[in-house]
Amino acid sequence: MSQLQQSASSQATGNLNMSISAEKNGTWQAVCPLEDIWPNTGVCALLGGRQIAIFRMKDDLLYALDNHDPHSGANVLARGIVGDLGGEPVVASPIYKHHYRLCTGACVEDADTRLNTYPVELREGMVWVQVPA
Amino acid sequence: MQQQKLIVVGNGMVGHYFVQELVKRHPDLAAAGIQVTVLGEEPRPAYDRVHLSSFFSGSTAEDLSLVEPGFYDRPGLELRLNARASQIDRNRQTVTLTDDSTLHYDKLVLATGSVPFVPPVPGRDRENCFVYRTIEDLEAMTAAGATAKSGVVVGGGLLGLECAKALRDMGLKTHVVEFAPRLMAVQVDESGGRVLRTKIEELGVNVHTSRNTTAITDGATARHRMVFFDETWLETDMIVFSAGIRPRDELARQSGLAIGARGGITIDDRCRTSDHNIYAIGECANWNGQMYGLVAPGYDMARIACAHLSGESATTFQGADMSTKLKLMGVDVASVGDAHGETHGSRSYQYLDEVRNIYKKIVVSEDGKKLLGAVLIGNADEYGTLQQMTVNGMPLPENPEFLILPASDGKEKPGLGVDALPESAVLCSCNNVTKGAIGEAVAAGACTIGEIKACTKAGTTCGGCVPLVTQVMKAEMRKHGMAVNNHLCEHFPYSRQELYHIVRVEQIRTFDELLEKHGKGLGCDICKPTAASILASCWNDFILKKDLASLQDSNDYFLGNIQKDGSYSVVPRMPGGEVTPDGLIAIGHIAKKYGLYTKVTGGARVDMFGARVEQLPDIWEELIAAGFESGHAYGKSLRTVKSCVGSTWCRYGVDDSVGLAVQLENRYKGLRAPHKIKFGVSGCTRECAEAQGKDVGIIATEQGWNLYVCGNGGMKPRHAELLASDLSKEDLIKMIDRFLMFYIRTADRLQRTSTWRDNLEGGLDYLKDVVINDSLGLGAELEAQMQHVVDNYQDEWKSAVDDPEVRKRFRSFVNSTVADANIVFVKEREQMRPATPEEKRQAKVIPVLALVE
């Protein structure tokens, strides 16, 4: 477990648009022990004034994206049901059931909406998230 | 443009259908230059006489109405009620009414229907002698039935037997007196009549055949004595004449129109009378010496007359198929074509089962190639097949006897094969819907029987064709490549019902196991909550257990009702709406302490809004201390059992509706189902609890409880239907157990009981068979399964606050104890409400209350 685990989402961020990769130099912050996130659920972390939803998927793959659901205006995505659509991991908002892709933050039902995603890692049993400066 | 004045005399089923057809052709009558006046002599517009007997099982005049609100309000159309025509002057083209007013017509349509035939027996005018035709007749019968102990129906035909059922349901000792040597002499042969009689007598109705009544006099032990031709007699408190009908042709006779030898206004193939400005349709018309007492030929005539009036003369009336299928007191009776084998050279096959009282006969042509007719008593499953084979002249299979013999193991019963039906085959004769029309509806996107009913009207009148229509629909869907796919979602190639079966049979207790064995991928927000619901209704484990929590829908996931801003509402359970003053005070204290907005709900509870997720466990703890559970005011589960105050306080109450409501709510609380379930219990027929708008509705009667099912308010209101009457409390609970579990097992995801019922092949009769008669042999299993759920109920909120692991989940942030700053309130009408986005921007907000220590 001492090995650094690179999550799928931190790879994915590299492909995101410029504004986010420009912020790649944010600070890494420890959030919580992995056990605090039940398998196949999410939690919300308050990091540098941002609400970030962190999801623990199958095989402890971790994803982090905004907790704010722009379609309802509520901070609720961490409480959504996770799963996959066509093999791509998604979370469904508990308010109006919009799906957001965990890898990219893109909304499945509305191509114009895209959430910020954040690099997330598991380091010795602790969940770490890189928060933009 | 010249105005065309059209008068329709009669606003019965056929008269109204004619007007509907006319409006269909000319949606804007006034613009088309048509001025229509409809004369109806009854005090109400057209209603469904086919289902008249349902008036006795709780349907109201409004339920039976066939007229959509506002239908007669359109320009160019006028309906006059309580308006009776007394005379037609054909030279002047006028109709005179009993109030002496006179109306001019260019074209006249007579849809005067028929009157019940009352045999000319001395004493037939005595008090408490009735006919069975209008809602007013039924109201009079109900009033008389309340004080009577016994009743006689004169006439053992179709209507007479329906009427006998009504008398029996009123609790009267019921007799049927028939002039002919058997019941339903027109439709049924001698052997069939015998089986039918045995069945009817088993149901507690006394049948007297070959009885000619010669006089009705004062009785010694009851109001009337009916004396028969052989001087035997029968005493009874009330008599209903239902000995056939006679066409109402007196208007036509007076005005000199041609009349048939046995009565009825003579019409040609276009439904014109001997005066070409006058049409006659329905039961008052005589075509080729034939009169039709069924609604389907009447509708047919209405369509043809309407077409002809609109200048279209291609369609002609060519007689009607008199096949009938109905359920008389729960007994299937069907008759097709030449039921008596009167065709020259015809031969028959017969099957008689005196143990189960089933009789089936088919009549085939001399050369054995065509089916001519059939009689089915006791079980009419083959009706659709036999009727279509007869009407469409389809070739018989090699061994036609197998058409009616019970299927033996391993042998497929020869079916119709709906693909063999011609496009023109009329599947629903009541509404003239062809196989082709069903195909078009499917092509246009209809893919449930409910949608087919809505867009074609097939199966909406008598309902006899629904199984066949369903078969055709499925075949058409397959043809369109719309593989009849009822898969739950991309992760499971099964319907909800199939998944349910898998979970039970394989004793699967987790989603992971279900997914591994029968699904693929990670699951989604469709299949996870569905599986959670199935697992809960099978095993009833705590829904927030570690391996179940992640499956739960928004509200079950946090045991509260999530609101638009991400806060929750908490609704303490108040079974039956009963609450003590101390309870109310405790709720008030809690709401005040946590700064919650309170509102009394439509389900007779108090709803407290605006709780943040981290406040929930504290609120629940205080509720538990005050003797409350938080309550399932959310989720696909039992919501409330609404009740009126009942006999305890109400001066009209017949039984203790609150007591029963409390008992039922406590029994079924926590039950997970395909959709939400609502109950209502009324203490008398005034129905203050609006139980007939609920999934399960119960109404107290003098004899026990009446159980109604599958009602709905909301988006698509639907009246509940009577499933069983006069039940003891014990039987009532048994029936509800079976009903709910059967629904939970077989319904689709998010299918309310009303939609489930509309899509249930076999409809209400099938549901009654399963729930009451236990036709699937599942009764004991369904009851045991419900008992398991009841026995394993737990206060989920208590379990959540008592388990530190679970309780820990209830926080806004995993790494902080502060509250979500996005949940902000403003004041309105002395309480708080969520701030609008605009208000949030302007920061006109109430600061979030400090966390309670």
pLDDT at A14 over 50: no
Instruction: Report the DSSP pairing between strands B721-727 and B704-709.
Output: antiparallel
**CATH classification at residue B110:** 3.50.50.60
* DSSP code, position B406: P
> What average pLDDT does the structure give for chain B?
90
pLDDT in tens, B560-583: 999 999 999 999 999 999 999 999
Nearest to A81 among B528, B564, B823 (CB): B528
Q: Are residues B232 and B252 in the same domain?
A: no
ipTM: 0.83
* The total number of structural domains that make up chain B: 5
Q: Which two tokens stand for residue B539?
A: 């095993």
> How close, in Å, is residue A36 to chain B by CA atoms?
8
pLDDT at A18 over 50: no
Residue B812 within any structural domain of the chain: no
Mutation target to probe the A interface, by most A beta carbons within 10 A, among B813, B817, B822 is B813
Q: Are residues B227 and B164 in the same domain?
A: yes
Q: State whether the Cα torsion B144-B149-B153-B154 is positive or negative.
A: negative
Q: Which two tokens stand for residue B250?
A: 């007196």
> How close, in Å, is residue B551 to chain A by CA atoms?
7
> How close, in Å, is residue B505 to chain A by CA atoms?
26
Q: State whether the Cα torsion B483-B488-B492-B496 is positive or negative.
A: negative
Distance, C-alpha B312 to centroid of its chain: 37
Confidence band for B415, pLDDT divided at 50, 70 and 90 = low
Q: What is the pLDDT of residue B674?
A: 95
Average pLDDT over residues B792-802: 95
Q: Are residues B534 and B473 in the same domain?
A: no
End-of-domain residue from the set B482, B513, B533 = B482
Query: Which residues lie below 8 Å from residue B753, measured CB to CB, with a gap of 6+?
Result: B675, B677, B695, B696, B709, B710, B711, B712, B743, B747
Q: Are residues B466 and B511 in the same domain?
A: no
Q: Are residues B643 and B782 in the same domain?
A: yes
Q: What is the pLDDT of residue A3?
A: 36
Instruction: Report the DSSP pairing between strands B358-364 and B347-353.
Output: antiparallel
Average pLDDT over residues B530-540: 95
Beta carbons of A94 and B528 less than 8 Å apart: no
Confidence band for B535, pLDDT divided at 50, 70 and 90 = very high
Interatomic CA distance for residues B551 and A40, integer angstroms: 9
Q: Counting Cβ atoms within 10 Å, is residue A112 exposed (0-12), middle (13-18) or buried (19+)?
A: exposed
Q: What is the pLDDT of residue A4?
A: 39
Beta carbons of B523 and A75 less than 8 Å apart: no
Count residue pairs from A and B with Cβ separation < 8 A: 106
| Residue A80: how many other CB atoms lie within 10 Å | 26
* DSSP code, position B851: P
Q: What is the pLDDT of residue B425?
A: 83
Q: What is the pLDDT of residue B429?
A: 79
Interatomic CA distance for residues B511 and B845, integer angstroms: 43
Q: Are residues B785 and B708 in the same domain?
A: yes
The 3 state secondary structure assigned to B156-189 is CCHHHHHHHHHHHHCCCEEEEECCCCCCCCCCCC
B88-97, B319-328, B746-755, B804-813: segment of lowest average pLDDT: B319-328
pLDDT at B849 over 50: no
Beta strands in B704-743, from DSSP E residues, in sequence order: 704-709, 721-727
Average pLDDT over residues B799-810: 94
> Is residue A69 helix, strand or coil?
strand
Average pLDDT over residues B24-32: 90
- The answer to whether the beta carbons of residues B249 and B273 sit under 8 Å apart is no
Beta carbons of B524 and A31 less than 8 Å apart: no
Confidence band for B324, pLDDT divided at 50, 70 and 90 = confident
Residue B610 within any structural domain of the chain: no
Beta carbons of A73 and B565 less than 8 Å apart: yes
Per the model's pLDDT, the better-predicted residue between B671 and B445 turns out to be B671
Beta carbons of A76 and B809 less than 8 Å apart: no
Interatomic CA distance for residues A28 and A129, integer angstroms: 5
In chain A, residues with a C-beta closer than 8 Å to the C-beta of B820 are 51, 75
Q: What is the pLDDT of residue B426?
A: 84
Nearest to B814 among A39, A43, A57 (CB): A43
pLDDT at B850 over 50: no
Interatomic CA distance for residues B487 and B508, integer angstroms: 19
Residue B11 within any structural domain of the chain: yes
Interatomic CA distance for residues B414 and B396, integer angstroms: 10
> How close, in Å, is residue B37 to chain A by CA atoms?
51
Confidence band for A25, pLDDT divided at 50, 70 and 90 = low
Q: Which long-range contacts (CB under 8 A, 24 or more apart) does B476-479 make?
A: B476/B438, B476/B439, B476/B442, B476/B443, B477/B442, B477/B447, B479/B439
b or e along B411-426 (b: 16 or more beta carbons within 10 Å of the residue's beta carbon)? Answer: eeebebebeebeeebb
Confidence band for B555, pLDDT divided at 50, 70 and 90 = very high
Q: For tokens 């055949």, name the residue.
A: B209
* DSSP code, position B395: B
| Residue B646: how many other CB atoms lie within 10 Å | 25
Confidence band for B355, pLDDT divided at 50, 70 and 90 = confident
Nearest to B525 among A31, A68, A83 (CB): A83
Interatomic CA distance for residues B670 and B666, integer angstroms: 9
Q: Which two tokens stand for residue B299?
A: 């509708």
Distance, C-alpha B103 to centroid of its chain: 40
Q: Which two tokens stand for residue A38?
A: 């039940």
Interatomic CA distance for residues B194 and B359, integer angstroms: 9
Nearest to B564 among A43, A95, A99 (CB): A95
B169-173, B238-242, B590-594: segment of lowest average pLDDT: B169-173
Which H or E run contains B151?
A: strand B150-154
Q: What is the pLDDT of residue B729?
A: 96
Query: Which residues lie below 8 Å from residue B121, measured CB to CB, with a gap of 6+?
Result: B213, B214, B215, B216
End-of-domain residue from the set B294, B309, B324 = B309
Q: Can you name the residues that pair with B358 across neighbouring β-strands?
A: B353
- The answer to whether the beta carbons of residues B12 and B293 sit under 8 Å apart is no
Which H or E run contains B470?
A: helix B466-479
Query: What chain B residue is nearest to A30 in terms of C-alpha separation?
Result: B815
Interatomic CA distance for residues B644 and B626, integer angstroms: 25
Beta carbons of A39 and B546 less than 8 Å apart: yes
- In degrees, rounded to 5, the angle at the alpha carbon of residue B330 between the alpha carbons of residues B328 and B333 is 50
End-to-end C-alpha distance for chain B, whole angstroms: 84
Query: Which residues lie below 8 Å from residue B430, measured CB to CB, with a gap of 6+?
Result: B295, B296, B299, B460, B461, B462, B465
Angle between helix B729-746 and B779-791 (nearest 10):
90
Residue B137 within any structural domain of the chain: yes
| Residue B61: how many other CB atoms lie within 10 Å | 14
Distance, C-alpha A98 to centroid of its chain: 16
Per the model's pLDDT, the better-predicted residue between B60 and B795 turns out to be B795
- The answer to whether the beta carbons of residues B67 and B46 sit under 8 Å apart is yes
pLDDT at B451 over 50: yes
Q: What is the pLDDT of residue B327?
A: 75
Q: Are residues B222 and B171 in the same domain?
A: yes
Give the right CATH number for A5-131 from 3.40.228.10, 2.102.10.10, 3.40.50.1000, 2.160.10.10.
2.102.10.10
Query: Which domain range does residue B707 map to?
Result: 636-794
In chain B, residues with a C-beta closer than 8 Å to the C-beta of A74 are 564-566, 822
Q: Are residues B784 and B683 in the same domain?
A: yes
State percent of chain B over pLDDT 70. Answer: 96
Q: Are residues B88 and B72 in the same domain?
A: yes
pLDDT in tens, B276-305: 999 999 999 999 998 988 888 999 999 999
Q: What does residue B259 show for φ and ψ, rounded to 5 degrees? A: -125, 145
Q: Are residues B778 and B741 in the same domain?
A: yes
In chain A, residues with a C-beta closer than 8 Å to the C-beta of B564 are 72-74, 95
B528 touches A: beta carbon within 8 Å: yes
Confidence band for A8, pLDDT divided at 50, 70 and 90 = very low
Average pLDDT over residues B797-812: 94
b or e along B165-176 (b: 16 or more beta carbons within 10 Å of the residue's beta carbon)? Answer: bbbbbbbbbbbb
Q: What is the pLDDT of residue B414?
A: 55
Average pLDDT over residues B437-458: 86
What does each C-alpha distance from A42 to A37, A38, B233, B617 come to in angstroms?
Answer: 6, 7, 82, 19
Query: What chain B residue is nearest to A53 in terms of C-alpha separation?
Result: B813
Query: What chain B residue is nearest to A73 in terms of C-alpha separation?
Result: B565
Average pLDDT over residues B471-476: 85
- The answer to whether the beta carbons of residues B226 and B236 sit under 8 Å apart is yes
Q: Are residues B234 and B253 in the same domain?
A: no
Confidence band for B416, pLDDT divided at 50, 70 and 90 = low
**CATH classification at residue B439:** 1.10.10.1100
Residue B18 within any structural domain of the chain: yes
State percent of chain B over pLDDT 90. Answer: 64
Transcribe B259-309 into DSSP letters.
B-TTSSEEE-TTSB-SSTTEEE-GGGEEETTB---SHHHHHHHHHHHHHHH
B51-60, B188-197, B689-698: segment of lowest average pLDDT: B51-60
Q: What does residue B165 show for φ and ψ, rounded to 5 degrees? A: -60, -40
Q: What does residue B791 show for φ and ψ, rounded to 5 degrees? A: -65, -25
Q: Which two tokens stand for residue B800?
A: 């959540």
Residue B338 within any structural domain of the chain: no
Q: Are residues B239 and B256 in the same domain?
A: no
pLDDT in tens, B356-402: 889 999 999 998 889 999 999 988 888 888 888 888 888 888 788 88
| Residue B764: how many other CB atoms lie within 10 Å | 16
End-of-domain residue from the set B227, B243, B259 = B243
Q: For tokens 């409400």, name the residue.
A: B833
Beta carbons of B521 and A87 less than 8 Å apart: yes
B185 touches A: beta carbon within 8 Å: no
Interatomic CA distance for residues B327 and B165, integer angstroms: 11
B510 touches A: beta carbon within 8 Å: no
Residue B326 within any structural domain of the chain: no
Q: What is the pLDDT of residue A12?
A: 39
B820 touches A: beta carbon within 8 Å: yes
> Is residue B826 helix, strand or coil?
strand
Among residues B681, B568, B576, B538, which one has the least CA distance to residue B634? B568
pLDDT in tens, B186-220: 888 888 899 999 989 988 899 999 999 999 999 99
Confidence band for B322, pLDDT divided at 50, 70 and 90 = confident
End-to-end C-alpha distance for chain A, whole angstroms: 29
Q: Which long-range contacts (CB under 8 A, 24 or more apart) does B526-529 make?
A: B526/B488, B526/B489, B526/B749, B527/A83, B527/B488, B527/B489, B527/B491, B527/B492, B528/A81, B528/A83, B528/B552, B529/A81, B529/B553, B529/B556, B529/B636
pLDDT in tens, B605-657: 999 999 999 999 999 999 999 999 998 998 899 999 999 999 999 999 999 99
